[in-house]
Structure 1
Amino acid sequence: MDNTISKIELRNLLIDDYLELKKSMLESYKGLEDSYWYKGEIEKLLNVFPEGQLVVLVDDVVVGSALSLIVDERQAMSTHTYDMITGNSTFSTHNPDGDILYGIDVFIHPKYRGLRLGRRLYDARKEMCEQLNLKSIVFAGRIPNYSKYSDELTPKQYLDKVKAKEIHDPVMSFQLSNDFHMVRLMRNYLEGDTSSKDYAVLLEWNNIFYEKSPQLINAKKSVIRLGLIQWQMRLLNDLEEFFDQAEFFINAVADYESDFAMFPELFTAPLMADYNHLSEADAIRELARYTDPIRKRFQEFAISYNINIITGSMPYLLDGSLYNVGFLCKRDGTYDMYSKIHITPNEVHYWGMKGGSKIQTFDTDCGKIGIMICYDVEFPELSRLLADQGMDILFVPFLTDTQNGYTRVRNCAQARAIENECYVAIAGCVGNLPKVNNMDIQFAQTAVFTPSDFAFPTNGVKAEATPNTEMTLIVDVDVDLLKELHEHGSVRVKKDRRSDLYRTIKLK
């Protein structure tokens, strides 16, 4: 190959490209009878689906092409031949309202192989599939090296060895490396393909961004803005002063059009100052009397500021037992309650708290989220269950008094982001409360953690607040990057888990 290439271009096919297209096809398909498209066929193809026909040019000469139709999924996945799927080259099978981009041809002139031009064509096809909101790319791939092994291997055995990289097949090996997966084997797909022994493999690439019925109004957002509040513990005169302080922060993050506001664990503790003459257990039960009024006021804030509020946590009495709970107050006026599952030895010893028993994710207008309170994030099984339910963002309100306690929460939260391929947001309290027993000092650095791959920060930290300073942290996270990671990441933790050997299950 001549190494003096000046320009490579990828664009849509034009009828004026026909002669160069034909020459490249004849070189690419030597040995196959009538291995080129007639000009009239190309004219028909350009007439029904011009945007689906791609060519790659080297120094203004067509050296490769990818041709496509749109068909119905039922048609693409049923048993068919090449003539059937192309309507005997009339392309009457093309359906603009279909949901599958069907590849009917792709080739690169032999002289220009090795430049990864085929990958450029496939990447352009994938981009087209996403832009047209089609479910997947489907086509039947030849297995041209099978004729060399057909006396000793069945087609299935041959394909198993190709998948295991024990045998190289110029078509199938390329497709598998290009994120296509085998659907099934088909016989008599392409008449005259003797090197494949008349076999072909139906292949599919799934569009992870496909939406069956795209919404024009109230569609789920890709980029979600988080407003995290690093709350200063301060003595308060009464409940209204607490509401004024909380509303100030809600207003602040809502002004930046945040989708979520999150407060820390037990950020209502300053209200216990009036009960400091009581035992710790009695004082926190007095604080629990404020929980329902706080939840109701936060529901009002969520509506009036058009923001989803995660209310950190607060004590809650139910049938005489004390729990550590919080509320997800949604901007549509509804709310959900979540409970701390794992109670620390301190909470048991001083307050007699009990752990909740409900493990769940929450549906919001920004997708599915999880909420775990502080110590819960140190138990990886819990977040794995939420990830299995489709969680994209895990919110962790926390309260830690020392830096080593904070380190446990932080490092575990970052691990949860990596192992579950999700975002993890943590928010804590700072300052001190000298007049509230068992709540004296606080240490926190609010942060948002990401998986660790090329689309995310190298250190897995999207943003972090100044330690031990009252402030807000406004952070954008893109859930579409998670979809890409699940399918095409450097490592795919969720997909590669050996569920044949071990799994995490919810008992109730």
Structure 2
Amino acid sequence: MTETIDIRLLTAEDYFDLKESMVSAYPDMAGSYWREPTISRLISLFPEGQIAITVNNKVVGCALSIIVNYGKFGDEHTYEQITGYYTFNTHDPKGDILYGIEIFVHPDYRGKRLARRLYDARKTLCERLNLRGIVAGGRIPNYEKYADEMSPREYIEKVQDKELYDPTLTFQFSNDFLVKKILRNYLPHDESSKGFATLLQWYNIYYEKDADTVRYNKSTVRIGLVQWQMRDYRNLDGFLEQVEYFIDAVSDYGSDFVVFPELFNAPLMAEFNQLDPAGAIRGVARYTEQIRDEFVRHAVSYNVNIIGGSMPIVIDEQLYNICYLCRRDGTYDHYIKIHPTPSEVFAWGVKGGQELKVFDTDCGKIGIQICYDVEFPEPSRILSEQGMQILFVPFLTDTQHAYNRVRFCAQARAVEMECYVAIAGCVGNLPKVNNMDLQYAQSAVFTPSDFAFPVTGIKADATPNTEMIVVADVDLVLLKELNAFGSVHTKKDMRKDLYEVKWKK
């Protein structure tokens, strides 16, 4: 006979099937089953949280839940306290945690992965209600066999390491629950667990604290890269005209970000070509703040966040390589290149910056590194630990070898840090500018390497050495799913017991 399995909300009419299944599920806890008025009250209070699974229309299991304001209870609580001594007056529709108060399957129907379906339904409910996660107290029924040999902590560690099997805890681990704490006297009458329980938590990776606001609700982010052609501009006005042209073009596609390359304003150095290279770069630095102000104005008028490539700037008589983030709300921020290349130091006297941080935008958290910076994995690791989702890398390289160093390292950062990396570079040549003879670039957007992403790890790329724009969409939700459910976990699995990365400043 073919079995029909269904997941649906529990109703009061299901009670007698429910009672039969629960009595059979807990043979070691005689008389411990929910009474009919209690089930009716739960359904009345929170119908969405009471989930039944049926086989051929017979209820053979369920998952019962309430919503609580977890801060009122904390991690030190008993089952009676969290349920309001079985009155469920602790249920708070405005709470932040879905609290699992019961889940079971009739033993005759085990082995069909029905409990997993109940857990998945509960997780879906948690996500839909935008709750921080699921918390539950879990039995450890096999612990009575080992109580004379080991502590509850040792037992839990051995179950987690698969040295021992526990019918409840093993299943919880397989469903992505973490043990936050060991609870004593959570269920005092649970003799099999010797009165102990695990405080379990599953984190909702889609939870948004400010879900009622516009910020950070954007899942798909559109990035526009400008592969900039180095050419002789008549003057600053001619240069700014070309800048606005690309901002306009990228914004026409509804882009959230437009990214310019490193030192894309180098053509303006032609005006100072009579000077030595160090003098010429300081000469063009005079225009940097004016160009920044134009970026700020265009970011608002074209409704696009601008990663302003990079430009030279003089601060306290020292020369730096700076990138401006100009947000479309009219605010701006900056990042100074930490690792100037040997050529920058030798020819121009560029100094390295001293700060590293993640920037908040209306499309999530971003990081910026300039060219050579991305060849050092440690700063990217620090940005990743601060929540970076997209790393922008304006670059300038003269040869294909130099370009490949940036490209390969940028792709490595996307895999290691489980983020998107967008690189934008200059092409062409500047025969009238010293130390800026040739440029080679292929701008691109790179992704992590897992099933949800392109098998090549490349979302989009430009034609090498051709002036153009590249527009690509990246999905921030995929990053959350990768971090939680990916084939590997390059962020989580870092052996911090052996090594770590620290920012010293």
- TMscore range, shorter length: over 0.9
TM-fit CA distance, 1:428: 0.6
Matches within 5 A, 1:102-121: 102-121=99-118
Change (3 A) 1:79 1:170: same
CA–CA distance in structure 1, aligned partners of residues 11 and 457 of structure 2:
46
Give the aligned partner of residue 254 of structure 1: 251
Give the aligned partner of residue 444 of structure 1: 441
Give the aligned partner of residue 174 of structure 2: 177
CA–CA distance in structure 1, aligned partners of residues 172 and 443 of structure 2:
44
Q: 1:31-71 deviations in whole A, cap 9, x for unaligned?
A: 32124323322221111110001112233332221111112
TM-fit CA distance, 1:165: 1.7
Q: Please tell me the residue identity of whatever aligns with 1:119.
A: R
Given candidates 268, 271, 275, the residue that maps to 1:274 is 271
Q: Please say if residues 396 and 426 of structure 1, whose CA atoms lie closer than 8 Å, have aligned partners that are also in contact.
A: yes
Give the aligned partner of residue 361 of structure 1: 358
Change (3 A) 1:110 1:75: farther
5+ unaligned residues in a row in structure 2: which ranges?
Answer: none
Q: Please say if residues 377 and 413 of structure 2, whose CA atoms lie closer than 8 Å, have aligned partners that are also in contact.
A: yes
TM-fit CA distance, 1:481: 2.4
Answering whether residue 96 of structure 2 is matched by residue 99 of structure 1, we say yes
Give the aligned partner of residue 16 of structure 2: 19
Q: Please say if residues 135 and 201 of structure 2, whose CA atoms lie closer than 8 Å, have aligned partners that are also in contact.
A: yes
Give the aligned partner of residue 81 of structure 2: 84
TM-fit CA distance, 1:279: 3.0
Q: 1:153-178 deviations in whole A, cap 9, x for unaligned?
A: 22222222222221111001111221
Change (3 A) 1:143 1:61: same
CA–CA distance in structure 1, aligned partners of residues 385 and 90 of structure 2:
39
Change (3 A) 1:355 1:30: same
Q: Please tell me the residue identity of whatever aligns with 1:333.
A: G
Give the aligned partner of residue 130 of structure 1: 127
RMSD: 2.0
Give the aligned partner of residue 475 of structure 1: 472
Matches within 5 A, 1:278-357: 278-357=275-354
Change (3 A) 1:281 1:186: closer
Q: 1:422-463 deviations in whole A, cap 9, x for unaligned?
A: 211100111222232322222111111122222322222222
CA–CA distance in structure 2, aligned partners of residues 384 and 218 of structure 1:
25
TM-score calculated relative to the size of structure 2: 0.94
Give the aligned partner of residue 206 of structure 1: 203
Q: Please say if residues 229 and 249 of structure 1, whose CA atoms lie closer than 8 Å, have aligned partners that are also in contact.
A: yes
Q: Please tell me the residue identity of whatever aligns with 1:11.
A: R
Answering whether residue 232 of structure 2 is matched by residue 232 of structure 1, we say no
Q: Please tell me the residue identity of whatever aligns with 1:211.
A: E
CA–CA distance in structure 2, aligned partners of residues 142 and 362 of structure 1:
43
Change (3 A) 1:282 1:481: same
5+ unaligned residues in a row in structure 1: which ranges?
Answer: none
Matches within 5 A, 1:10-89: 10-89=7-86
Q: Please say if residues 417 and 423 of structure 1, whose CA atoms lie closer than 8 Å, have aligned partners that are also in contact.
A: yes
Give the secondary structure class of the aligned counterpart of 1:186: strand
Q: 1:102-124 deviations in whole A, cap 9, x for unaligned?
A: 11111112222222221111111
CA–CA distance in structure 1, aligned partners of residues 409 and 247 of structure 2:
28
Change (3 A) 1:380 1:148: same
Q: Please tell me the residue identity of whatever aligns with 2:81.
A: M
Q: Please tell me the residue identity of whatever aligns with 2:391.
A: L
Give the secondary structure class of the aligned counterpart of 1:495: coil
CA–CA distance in structure 1, aligned partners of residues 185 and 87 of structure 2:
20
CA–CA distance in structure 2, aligned partners of residues 86 and 266 of structure 1:
62
Aligned length: 505
Q: 1:288-322 deviations in whole A, cap 9, x for unaligned?
A: 22212111111111121122111111122233332
Give the aligned partner of residue 391 of structure 2: 394
Matches within 5 A, 1:480-495: 480-495=477-492
Change (3 A) 1:156 1:352: closer
CA–CA distance in structure 1, aligned partners of residues 394 and 319 of structure 2:
19
Give the secondary structure class of the aligned counterpart of 1:493: coil
Change (3 A) 1:147 1:241: same
Q: 1:238-291 deviations in whole A, cap 9, x for unaligned?
A: 111111111111111112222211100111122223333443333222222221
Query: Which stretch has the larger CA shift, 65-74 or 81-90?
Result: 81-90
TM-fit CA distance, 1:6: 4.3
CA–CA distance in structure 2, aligned partners of residues 186 and 317 of structure 1:
60
Change (3 A) 1:204 1:448: same
Give the aligned partner of residue 374 of structure 2: 377
Give the aligned partner of residue 422 of structure 2: 425
CA–CA distance in structure 2, aligned partners of residues 79 and 337 of structure 1:
45
Answering whether residue 185 of structure 2 is matched by residue 188 of structure 1, we say yes
Q: Please say if residues 23 and 30 of structure 2, whose CA atoms lie closer than 8 Å, have aligned partners that are also in contact.
A: no
Q: Please tell me the residue identity of whatever aligns with 1:123.
A: D
CA–CA distance in structure 2, aligned partners of residues 314 and 200 of structure 1:
59
CA–CA distance in structure 2, aligned partners of residues 61 and 467 of structure 1:
63
CA–CA distance in structure 2, aligned partners of residues 319 and 81 of structure 1:
62
Change (3 A) 1:156 1:506: closer
Alignment identity in percent? 60
Change (3 A) 1:347 1:123: same
CA–CA distance in structure 2, aligned partners of residues 424 and 286 of structure 1:
32
TM-score calculated relative to the size of structure 1: 0.94
Give the aligned partner of residue 507 of structure 1: 504
TM-fit CA distance, 1:219: 4.6
Change (3 A) 1:272 1:196: same
CA–CA distance in structure 1, aligned partners of residues 140 and 10 of structure 2:
27
TM-fit CA distance, 1:191: 4.9
Change (3 A) 1:71 1:359: closer
Query: Which stretch has the larger CA shift, 114-123 or 56-65?
Result: 56-65
CA–CA distance in structure 2, aligned partners of residues 326 and 95 of structure 1:
47
Q: 1:106-147 deviations in whole A, cap 9, x for unaligned?
A: 111222222222111111111111211222211111111111
Q: 1:211-243 deviations in whole A, cap 9, x for unaligned?
A: 334333445423222111111112211111111
Q: Please say if residues 76 and 100 of structure 1, whose CA atoms lie closer than 8 Å, have aligned partners that are also in contact.
A: no
Give the aligned partner of residue 265 of structure 1: 262
CA–CA distance in structure 1, aligned partners of residues 154 and 289 of structure 2:
65
Given candidates 392, 406, 413, the residue that maps to 2:410 is 413
Q: Please tell me the residue identity of whatever aligns with 2:171.
A: F
Change (3 A) 1:78 1:265: closer
Answering whether residue 488 of structure 2 is matched by residue 466 of structure 1, we say no
